[in-house]
Structure 1
């Protein structure tokens, strides 16, 4: 009888274990994210009264960039390749403030910034004040991989470009009529500011944009890339947050982050790095870390962020009226949005 009880107990235990394996394995497998990608095309005051035709152009531009990164990641490509190709797509699209379609400086020209970072090595490349490089993000990657330095500026950045095979263009290539009209309005508004008015408030109300991408690949690596034409009517030599590693662009073993919004505020709070540090040292989730920076360190209307962590979790949040953004992962979770609720 004792042996019978032992045998029955064994059968029950075996049945429980078998049932557990059958119920849990598919769920665990389906929840595992092999790769993930998020991108943005700028944040700020984006009116929901945009004509449907213009909205569609933006949605299509975001979709095209998303597909570009998807093709890289689903075939086992690296996070670095994905973010570079996504940002190149956005730089080539005149709708966004990066590459062709960049805003005008106070002097009526275009000065471009870009940065890229490899989370697995902390390798980084950054540039500011470019005037003839068609795709600044690709030059930033060459700085990261081929140079002993991290950051080149102005004439030095152009000289470094001369030593590479990146495609060059005349400064007029970046011109679009829409940005030119925006620049003329910005100049008029700047001249109209009275001593009683605050330049600080005027800048916050000015729409500015950036493009960026973050990715997590099938090897568990993270990368971030950001590119911009900067702030409309910006003064001589102004540098924003994008090329400042840790401010507008950051990636490590915890997360990859790209920022958009008011660069000066993003820089003051070293925002991208703060998100990663809050996760690492507080044990916070990606969403919690992003909420901390947006709500406790920045003011309403300052910025938006996209980020992905080392488990493939994606977060895209802003405290602005809107942010052009999109995301996708290996499980097929797909988002393309402009406003908070669509």
Structure 2
């Protein structure tokens, strides 16, 4: 029987279920889980073409991270690789394909954290750095800071050699039309079309030509993230987002707030990436609290569900992916779906979208 959307918990473990994974005598040599956002994603809201497109996109990201881990690479490298694939894919609300602010801009946030030493890096309000997740990692590894924002964050990213693009690079027609619809429904003025964007009505080019339209109610979700366990037993987490459609210029959600949308700790045996209503995930300190619960011997699935329920009590919906040192990923959500996938050294990859799948 399908569980209520209010407290849907999906243990999309690569061996077929959380119990099976925990019953193994030894943890997988490596394990990876990713998400592409949670929301009101129901079977009836996706055409077969849309369903297939999202699954293929998730598989590409999963393959990128798995290739690194399979060669003995570090968890952080795998997390970054998987997320960069999704940042480049217009299907997701991160990087190219990010939603627009009410002022008609794309403002991008990201964060990363190493479980081995609790180092972390975050950026917010980027407008010219192609891969925000790479900028977050650079803040962690190449600066004395944890978070940089706005023009200063873009300038720092450029100073360390990260690729810079014109802001129009992030433009996608479907996200622009989503902004127009949201502002029109709210009775707010629609800003001028961004400079450098293709003219209204012009044929889409490149990857956008075959891009399926998103579910009608996808405007708030689509954040991407990854959590990984590498062969050395280290955990890492990363998250990247464009935020929410028609957000106030300068708004920052939970993603770059360490402990809210992103957290990792080897000592607690936990790495988390979250997606959903950021204001509520910040108030509930979702990611850090999940790890604290697990570190205090709470079962990972129970820890994840407790935090998702707490955020819902405050008014926020969304989901989390959790990786443990046992290599068994847990996916928890309070929505009807979350784009997600998992793979490990000892089992086959699996991709899922809806809260309950066979």
* TM-score over 0.5 (shorter chain): yes
* Residue 286 of structure 1 pairs with residue 300 of structure 2: yes
* Residue 310 of structure 1 pairs with residue 322 of structure 2: no
Q: How does 1:111-130 map to 2 (within 5 A)?
A: 111-130=107-126
Q: Pick from 59, 72, 77: which aligns with 1:76?
A: 72
How far residue 139 of structure 1 moved from its aligned partner, in angstroms, is 1.1
Aligned to 1:46, the other structure's residue is in SS state coil
Query: Following the alignment from structure 2 to structure 1, what is the Cα–Cα distance between the partners of residues 137 and 340?
Result: 23
Structure showing greater radius of gyration is 1
Q: How does 1:60-99 map to 2 (within 5 A)?
A: 60-99=56-95
Query: Following the alignment from structure 1 to structure 2, what is the Cα–Cα distance between the partners of residues 292 and 189?
Result: 35
Describe the superposition over 1:246-305 as per-residue Cα deviations: whole angstroms up to 9, x where unpaired.
Answer: 000000112000000110111110100010011113x11111100111224434861100
CA RMSD of aligned residues (A): 1.8
Aligned length: 304
1:141 paired residue number:
137
How far residue 109 of structure 1 moved from its aligned partner, in angstroms, is 0.9
How far residue 191 of structure 1 moved from its aligned partner, in angstroms, is 1.9
Contact 1:45 1:207 in 2 (8 A): no
Structure 2 stretches lacking a partner, 5+ long = 1-22, 189-216
Structure 1 stretches lacking a partner, 5+ long = 1-27, 193-203
* Residue 273 of structure 1 pairs with residue 288 of structure 2: yes
Q: Pick from 263, 275, 278: which aligns with 1:250?
A: 263
Aligned to 2:354, the other structure's residue is in SS state coil
Aligned to 2:161, the other structure's residue is in SS state coil
Contact 1:58 1:95 in 2 (8 A): yes
Aligned to 1:86, the other structure's residue is in SS state helix
Residues 54-63 or 331-340, more deviating? 331-340
Contact 1:143 1:149 in 2 (8 A): yes
Query: Following the alignment from structure 1 to structure 2, what is the Cα–Cα distance between the partners of residues 129 and 295?
Result: 29
Moved over 4 A (4+): 28-31
Contact 1:37 1:70 in 2 (8 A): yes
1:58 paired residue number:
54
Q: How does 1:130-279 map to 2 (within 5 A)?
A: 130-191=126-187, 206-253=219-266, 254-279=269-294
Query: Following the alignment from structure 2 to structure 1, what is the Cα–Cα distance between the partners of residues 310 and 103?
Result: 36
2:11 paired residue number:
none
Aligned to 2:226, the other structure's residue is in SS state strand
2:40 paired residue number:
45
* Residue 323 of structure 1 pairs with residue 338 of structure 2: yes
Contact 1:209 1:231 in 2 (8 A): no
Aligned to 1:289, the other structure's residue is in SS state helix
After TM superposition, the score normalised by the length of structure 1 is 0.85
Describe the superposition over 1:305-336 as per-residue Cα deviations: whole angstroms up to 9, x where unpaired.
Answer: 00101121210111111100000111114321
Contact 1:80 1:223 in 2 (8 A): yes
Describe the superposition over 1:48-101 as per-residue Cα deviations: whole angstroms up to 9, x where unpaired.
Answer: 221111111100000000111110111100000000000000001010000000
Query: Following the alignment from structure 2 to structure 1, what is the Cα–Cα distance between the partners of residues 218 and 82?
Result: 28
Query: Following the alignment from structure 2 to structure 1, what is the Cα–Cα distance between the partners of residues 28 and 152?
Result: 41
After TM superposition, the score normalised by the length of structure 2 is 0.82
1:34 paired residue number:
29
Query: Following the alignment from structure 1 to structure 2, what is the Cα–Cα distance between the partners of residues 278 and 258?
Result: 15
2:193 paired residue number:
none
Query: Following the alignment from structure 2 to structure 1, what is the Cα–Cα distance between the partners of residues 172 and 146?
Result: 31
